[in-house]
Structures are given as structure tokens and as C-alpha cells.
């Protein structure tokens, strides 16, 4: 072994070291690329779960609202709270995997449902519920825009024109539901 080491010249050692350094560098690039791909896939899954949980809150909310002061109010309220828990778990994954803008947007969206919508439902306040639902839609879109930017989409969820059309349609619907005086 010692004879082998003594027989190596400086050129051979440098070539070996350069080859070893190149292999290490290539492996670091490859593993970094694989990690980035894995992280993007994990983020996408977390974003999909969170958006699904936000979407899933609308039906229990409607059922609770329709059962106000009726015999089905307690089970409807419990179904809503169950979906809040699903949203909390999905939001936790988003917060673990994402950057600050997405985290802030997911927290604002979750707080809108956990605090404002929950309070409006508990107090049977239809006006507050309507305002809260409009704000929840804004928080939903805010989260989608932040999530899309984080995963590399340049375009927002809704183009400015589509967003204006969506808001106009929501206002028309709101005007139709106002009590006539």
C-alpha cells in the first residue's frame, strides 16, 4: 500500500482530485434538483388540500345557516367545526412547506372562516355572514394568487377583467337578495 502511494505522481493525484470534485459537484446539483422537485410536489399537494378544505366549508356553513334555531342546528354546527379542523390540518402543512407570503395568505383565509364566519353563524347574523362570505372569497383568491406565485405561475388566479366580472356578478346577486322596502 505504501509503495502504491509513493508511486503516485502529483499529476495523477490532481486528476483524481479533479474527478472526485466533479463527481461531488454533479451529485450536489442532481440531489438539489430532486429536492426542489420533491418540495414543489409537496407544496402542490398541501395547496390542493387547503383549497379543498376551504371549498369544503361552504356546504356545512349553508347547512348550519339553514338549520338556525331548528332541531338540526347542533349536528350542522358540529359538521362545520369538523371541517374547520380539516382546514386547520391542511393549513398546517401549507405553513410548514411554504414561504411567508403564502403562509400569511393561508392564515388570513383560515382566520376568516375560524373567526368571522363562525361568529356570524353562532350569532345568527345574516348580514355579517354575507359580509364575511365576501371577505372569505377575497382571502381565497389572495391565497390562490400567492400559492401560484410560489410554485412559479406568473398569472394570477383571475385576470383583472375576469376578477371585475366576478365581482360585478357577486354584487348583482347580493342586490337581488336584499330585502325589498
Looking at residue 176, its pLDDT comes to 62
Ranking 55-64, 74-83, 159-168, 170-179 by mean pLDDT, the lowest is 170-179
Question: Among candidates 68, 66, 62, 54, which has minimal Cα distance to 136?
Answer: 54
Beta carbons of 52 and 90 less than 8 angstroms apart: yes
For 12-177, give the CATH class.
Answer: mainly alpha
Ranking 72-76, 83-87, 177-181 by mean pLDDT, the lowest is 177-181
The answer, yes or no, to whether residue 3 has pLDDT greater than 80, is no
Q: Is the dihedral of CA 118, 124, 129, 132 positive or negative?
A: negative
Provide the angle, in degrees to the nearest 10, between the axes of the packed helices 10-56 and 126-150.
Answer: 160
Alpha-carbon Rg for the chain, nearest whole angstrom, is: 27
Amino acid at each position: 500500500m505504501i509503495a502504491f502511494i509513493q508511486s503516485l505522481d502529483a499529476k495523477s493525484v490532481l486528476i483524481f482530485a479533479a474527478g472526485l470534485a466533479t463527481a461531488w459537484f454533479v451529485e450536489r446539483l442532481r440531489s438539489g434538483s430532486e429536492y426542489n422537485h420533491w418540495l414543489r410536489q409537496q407544496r402542490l399537494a398541501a395547496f390542493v388540500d387547503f383549497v379543498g378544505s376551504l371549498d369544503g366549508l361552504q356546504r356545512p356553513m349553508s347547512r348550519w345557516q339553514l338549520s338556525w334555531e331548528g332541531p338540526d342546528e347542533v349536528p350542522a354546527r358540529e359538521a362545520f367545526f369538523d371541517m374547520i379542523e380539516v382546514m386547520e390540518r391542511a393549513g398546517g402543512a401549507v405553513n410548514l412547506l411554504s414561504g411567508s407570503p403564502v403562509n400569511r395568505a393561508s392564515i388570513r383565509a383560515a382566520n376568516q372562516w375560524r373567526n368571522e364566519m363562525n361568529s356570524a353563524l353562532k350569532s345568527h347574523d345574516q348580514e355579517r355572514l354575507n359580509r364575511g362570505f365576501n371577505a372569505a372569497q377575497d382571502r381565497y383568491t389572495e391565497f390562490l394568487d400567492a400559492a401560484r406565485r410560489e410554485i412559479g405561475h406568473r398569472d394570477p388566479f383571475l385576470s383583472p377583467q375576469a376578477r371585475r366580472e366576478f365581482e360585478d356578478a357577486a354584487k348583482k346577486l347580493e342586490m337581488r337578495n336584499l330585502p325589498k322596502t
